[in-house]
Amino acid sequence: MKLIRKIFAVLTILLATNAYAAPDYSLLIPPQPTHSGKKIEVLEFFFYGCIHCFHLHPYLEKWEQTMPKDVKLGFVPVHFNPSWEPMAYTYYALKAMGQQKRLDGKLYDALNQARLPLFDMNAIADFVAKNGVNRDEFVKYYQSFSVQNEVDNSGQMTSAYQIEGTPTLVVEGKYIISGLEPPQMIEALNQVIAKVRRETGK
């Protein structure tokens, strides 16, 4: 009887350990090509007005500051419907101006806490101008052909990657992490990156 109990205890520990170590992800079929060279690609599909993205943002921002050197982090603004498109244009316009990182947190706060009606170019241009961005230059980029292409491409990527909700993290074009609380998403991200590193030797 004692032997059976010992065996049961060992099995319980092993199962618990394996369950803890197993990363939470699903597989994207078919996988999508990466554009990160020798680095492991991580993409966040997000929307500034998404409360779950808002909650993940500080965790991912902190993670980015100390992320492994063999990882490249990118962002894809999702626009499931036309009302989301202005924020996609905003992201790419600010990115082209070198202002996107500085205003990320302010945009999340504006939409999720202050509930500002940033639903069109003029309202958004007024907002970014109040936060130190040249209004005319922002409008120029917002309306540019290059930003239009970026927004179109992000829509195509959202479809190709089969994104159903935000935030969603995609690692190396095939491992999808979503539906977790922020700390668990970061934990799963680290585990999947380690898995990719073992598989590819990157």
Please list, in sequence order, all residues whose beta carbon lies within 8 angstroms of the beta carbon of residue 155, skipping any fewer than 6 positions away. Answer: 79
The answer on pLDDT for 9 being more than 80 is no
Architecture of domain 24-200: 3-Layer(aba) Sandwich (3.40)
Strand, coil or helix: 46: strand
**If residue 103 lies in a helix (H) or strand (E), which one and from where to where?**
helix 100-112
| Separate counts of helices (H) and strands (E) for the chain | 8, 5
In the chain, where the domains are located: 24-200
pLDDT on residue 200: 85
pLDDT on residue 163: 98
Query: Could you identify the residue written with the tokens 């935000």?
Result: 166
The answer on pLDDT for 33 being more than 80 is yes
Residue 169: both structure tokens together: 């993290």
Could you read off the pLDDT of 70-95 as tens digits, one per residue? 999 999 999 999 999 999 999 999 99
Q: How far apart are the first and last CA of the chain?
A: 49
